[in-house]
Copies of this chain bind each other. A is one copy, B any other.
């Protein structure tokens, strides 16, 4: 092997790398040109130096991009790569017209990166056919976490949750820490808590540790999982997908294996939607069953505490710890049977809800539930449920946060700010009418559902992509809330089980995991997780 400098004397090649191995003619010039294009963020030059066609590959920690066009779109959106120099360049000629180039890089911000490229020559042009780029990892991902530790808060007891680390949504008090609620101005105005919220303590008393405090949508008033202040947590399993919210950071942390449990809240789907989008098990507990001290509220008539996990067994154990006495209510009286016992629980579906689904989502649901014996139930009209739910949720959200928002102009931004503006315009008369409607709807729902477990998709789509336009995101949101508000209105617990998958289909629905949701009678929480785990 000949080791020597790259393009000696060329002042445009960043760094002064040493080349190990023999390079075919023209390769190092093309390699140097690509490095300069990267430094200059010269999109046209980078495009020309990557092989055209649908088979070109570019991977990094965010995922693998396939196809020249997709790679172009990614480069155009990122606006410049982190600056770096090259240290060592290893060349392995594979064929007269092909070589692998492995480079150790030194990013300006520190550390060492690694890059592997397969170069092919087409005529006289060398082009990259596949690239794998690994920058040095950051200290942690601030889109996912605000604070994280080993552990952040130790266990306060020992039991069924020994060894589990919890990603606590930044709405709960954690001893010694402030609460951010997804809004920097809220964090600034917060004082370190002297005592953790009861929900946190119930988990640490059972042996769990607090791994860290995870990001949330602003004041939890969204199910998308986007946050313009500190970035949107990545979807761990759908490249480019929204994480789902508002328990967004906890969901991503659990899906990435950075925590075993997520502690969050679910008002209108904030546990079920991120569970659905990221292939996790999620539990929205019975309304009122878990104390909400030390928790920033959104709409107390609907707010519940919830959990996320990769493993249903751990979810059931955590649910039992979180619910305490309230968790065992249904296990002894036969209203919801333990899995395997006879008779099993009655499973129900609501045709009107399913008929409104996009075809690909409907197909995923039908495929995943075909083997189950179900009864059909007739529920109130979804649009009427959604309207009443949204109106009263908005009224309560403004009651909780309106004064603070008016005192802190600009603190809440984007679509959540718009939602609060709309909430501020709900009149007392409108809210009274909504409450009356909700009481009636709840009675009708309880009557229709009884002790049955209602099956429905956890969301009306797989994870929308971050680049979808606002109208498409709004549509996805409304369609999902039509499903999630059944549990909201009734105060019933709901489990999202990662058992479905939306395939890519001609109607352009997004593909990805989809949760199968089970809504059970109040107090059936633990039994519901166990029942879902048997499906």
Contact = CB atoms under 8 A, between A and B. Distances in A.
A145 interface: yes
A150 interface: yes
Contacts of A59: 102, 104, 114, 116, 134
Contact of A134 (B61, B140, B254): B61
A147 interface: yes
Which 4 pairs, one residue from A and one from B, show the smallest C-beta to C-beta distance? A110-B257, A109-B257, A139-B258, A95-B95
A257 B107 contact: yes
Interface string A95-114: 10010101010010111101
Contacts of A69: none
Given A111-B236, A116-B116, A95 B94 contact: yes
A142 to B, nearest CB: 4
Interface string A73-100: 0000000000000001010101100101
A149 interface: yes
Contacts of A95: 94-95, 98
Contact of A110 (B98, B129, B177, B254): B254
Interface string A136-148: 1111111011111
A275 interface: no
A120 interface: yes
A247 B61 CA distance: 30
A81 to B, nearest CB: 15
Contact of A192 (B66, B176, B212): B176
A88 B255 CA distance: 18
A258 B258 CA distance: 18
Given A63-B104, A94-B120, A147-B147, 10 more contacts: A21-B55, A64-B114, A94-B98, A102-B130, A111-B236, A111-B257, A114-B132, A136-B257, A140-B140, A154-B188
Select the residue from A104, A114, A141, A255 with max chain B CB neighbours within 10 A: A114
A211 B64 contact: no
A118 interface: yes
A259 interface: yes
Contacts of A130: 90, 92, 100, 102, 116
Contact of A148 (B66, B147, B154): B147
A253 interface: yes
A338 to B, nearest CB: 28
A471 interface: no
A139 B88 contact: no
7 contacts: A1-B55, A63-B112, A90-B130, A92-B129, A102-B130, A110-B256, A137-B138
A61 B114 CA distance: 8
A392 interface: no
Interface in A307-339: 310
Contact of A116 (B55, B104, B132): B132
A237 interface: yes
Interface in A113-170: 114, 116, 118, 120, 129-130, 132, 134, 136-142, 144-150, 152, 154
Contacts of A141: 137, 139
Nearest to A140: B140
B102 A150 contact: no
Contacts of A61: 114, 134, 136-137
Contacts of A149: 145-148
B66 A90 contact: yes
B137 A137 contact: yes
A57 interface: yes
A230 interface: yes
A116 B115 CA distance: 10
Contacts of A111: 236, 255-258
B147 A90 contact: no
A64 B104 CA distance: 7
B57 A90 contact: yes
Select the residue from A55, A111, A130, A150 with max chain B CB neighbours within 10 A: A150
A138 B255 CA distance: 12
A177 to B, nearest CB: 7
B310 A110 contact: yes
Contacts of A148: 139-140, 147-149
Select the residue from A90, A100, A152, A192 with max chain B CB neighbours within 10 A: A100
Interface in A158-195: 176-177, 188, 192
A256 B378 CA distance: 59
A492 to B, nearest CB: 29
A262 to B, nearest CB: 12
Contacts of A107: 257
